[in-house]
């Protein structure tokens, strides 16, 4: 395994992060525990979860993923071996069953305390805002809709104050963003610069993969100049970059088959690009999934690459990508495809 650090801290984390969003829906508790056992044995010491998981979110399954992780901590005693990240859900349809009060002080405190109880731990190493409260573009929205109704009042100072107090209490160690834009990222960073008693956002968890490299537009410069590390999620684009959906009959238990609304990586341009990436991998004797993950691993703004799997076979392949070195020829081939079909799946 290769390791990095959460920026501005001494916390050493694996460059491969174990994602958990399928646990409790596509994977049962035994599956989840087997994945954590294997990942830890392979040197993966960074796990990412959220109160929203598993997804697609359902009221009856609220926060089950955190419960499964907490049960594993209790069973194994491995809490001190893991750098643990979780998230508070933002407002909106996907989280109506959780709360409707956004990132108010009471909401954040309640969310943290709920996660701590379910995770059976006294602290969370990295606590993230899952998506913004305000109207902006995330979750597949290509551009910002300036005409959309937005009743959000700028509460960033108050959010950081609440997080500061939770850090002081020892319930969380550091904080980060997720699904955030360049404006939002800089707004949080500047607030903590002007008011130095407020905590600094250390990481940003956004989508990044061969079909969606929009992080490179604006956010990559912020990431590198401000040292806010990318935790790349969906590095395989809901599994499409494994090539498994390029068959006439889609795999029966795969995510996009089970949940057709998870289709942002399945439009015509995305499929065309995926076919070209599959051919490139084949020409160079590479697993397509490992090529896609290894590309993400090479990015200078990456702090950790969040992989997920519904089978042990997938998990082993995904973790193994850390040992794959891409040749200059492969990297040049990737850029040729990207230039021809740039960011088909925002």
Q: Distance (Å, rounded) from C-alpha 237 to C-alpha 291? A: 13
Statement: residue 255 has pLDDT above 80: no
| pLDDT tens track for 101-121 | 999 999 999 999 999 999 999
Confidence bin at 263 (pLDDT 50/70/90): confident
| pLDDT tens track for 165-177 | 999 999 999 999 9
- Mean pLDDT rounded to a whole number for the chain: 96
Q: How would DSSP label each residue in 220-283?
A: HHHHHHHT-EEEEE-TTTTTGGGTTTSSSS--TTSHHHH-TT--TT-SHHHHHHHHHHHHHHHH
Q: Determine whether 127 is an active site residue.
A: no
Statement: residue 270 has pLDDT above 90: yes
Residue 256 is predicted with a pLDDT of 80
| 346 or 86, which is more confident | 86
Which candidate, 44, 171, 168, places its Cα nearest to that of 115? Answer: 171
Catalytic residue among 3, 53, 262, 265: 53
φ and ψ of 47, to 5 deg: -115, 140
Count of beta carbons in the 10 Å neighbourhood of residue 202: 23
Residue 251 is predicted with a pLDDT of 78
Eight-state DSSP code of residue 139: T
Q: Distance (Å, rounded) from C-alpha 39 to C-alpha 41? A: 5
Count of beta carbons in the 10 Å neighbourhood of residue 46: 27
Residue 150 is predicted with a pLDDT of 85
Confidence bin at 335 (pLDDT 50/70/90): very high
Residue 149 is predicted with a pLDDT of 81
Please report, for the chain, how many H helices and E strands are present, in that order.
11, 10
Statement: residue 146 has pLDDT above 90: no
- Pairing outcome for strands 3-5 and 12-14: antiparallel
- Pairs from 191-196 (Cβ < 8 Å, separation ≥ 24): 191/156, 191/157, 191/160, 192/160, 195/157, 195/160
| pLDDT > 70 fraction of the chain, expressed in percent and rounded | 100
Tokens of 5: 């650090």
Residue 142 is predicted with a pLDDT of 84
Tokens of 42: 């392979």
Distance linking the first and last C-alpha atoms of the chain = 30
For residue 210, give the H/E element and its range.
none
Please state the rounded mean pLDDT for residues 213-236: 97
Residue 254 is predicted with a pLDDT of 76
Statement: residue 182 has pLDDT above 90: yes
Q: Per mean pLDDT, which range of 6-10, 57-61, 127-131, 250-254 is the poorest?
A: 250-254
Statement: residue 140 has pLDDT above 90: no
Is this model's pTM higher than 0.85 or not?
A: yes
Confidence bin at 264 (pLDDT 50/70/90): confident
Statement: residue 151 has pLDDT above 80: yes
| pLDDT tens track for 20-52 | 999 999 999 999 999 999 999 999 999 999 999
Please state the rounded mean pLDDT for residues 55-74: 97
Q: Per mean pLDDT, which range of 146-155, 296-305, 310-319, 322-331 is the poorest?
A: 146-155
Residue 252 is predicted with a pLDDT of 74
Residue 261 is predicted with a pLDDT of 79
């Amino acid at each position: 395994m290769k390791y990095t650090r959460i920026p501005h801290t001494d916390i050493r984390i694996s460059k491969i992060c174990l994602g958990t969003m399928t646990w409790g829906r596509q994977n049962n508790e035994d599956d989840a525990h087997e994945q954590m056992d294997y990942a830890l044995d392979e040197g993966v010491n960074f796990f990412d979860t959220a109160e929203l998981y598993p997804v697609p979110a359902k009221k009856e399954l609220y926060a089950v993923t955190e419960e499964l992780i907490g049960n594993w901590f209790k069973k194994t005693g491995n809490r001190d071996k893991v750098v643990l990240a979780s998230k508070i859900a933002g407002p909106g349809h996907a989280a109506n069953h959780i709360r409707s009060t956004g990132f108010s002080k009471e909401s954040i405190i309640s969310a943290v305390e709920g996660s701590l109880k379910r995770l059976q731990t006294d602290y969370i190493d990295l606590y993230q805002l899952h998506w913004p409260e305000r109207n902006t573009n995330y979750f597949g929205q290509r551009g910002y809709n300036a005409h959309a109704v937005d009743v959000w009042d700028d509460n960033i100072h108050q959010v950081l104050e609440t997080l500061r107090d939770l850090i002081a209490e020892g319930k969380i160690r550091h904080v980060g963003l997720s699904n955030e834009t360049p404006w939002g990222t800089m707004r949080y960073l500047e607030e903590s610069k002007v008011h130095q008693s407020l905590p600094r956002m250390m990481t940003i968890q956004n989508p990044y993969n061969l079909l969606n490299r929009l992080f490179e537009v604006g956010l990559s410069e912020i990431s590198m100049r401000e040292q806010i590390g990318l935790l790349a999620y969906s590095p395989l684009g809901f599994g499409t970059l494994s090539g498994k959906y390029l068959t006439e009959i889609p795999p029966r238990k795969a995510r996009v088959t089970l949940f057709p609304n998870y289709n942002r990586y399945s439009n015509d341009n995305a499929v065309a690009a995926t076919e070209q990436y599959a051919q490139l991998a084949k020409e160079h004797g590479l697993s397509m999934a490992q090529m896609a993950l290894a590309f993400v691993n090479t990015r200078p703004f990456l702090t950790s690459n969040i992989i997920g799997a519904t089978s042990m076979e997938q998990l082993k392949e995904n973790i193994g990508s850390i040992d794959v070195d891409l040749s200059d020829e492969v990297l040049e081939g990737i850029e040729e495809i990207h230039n021809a079909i740039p960011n088909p799946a925002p």
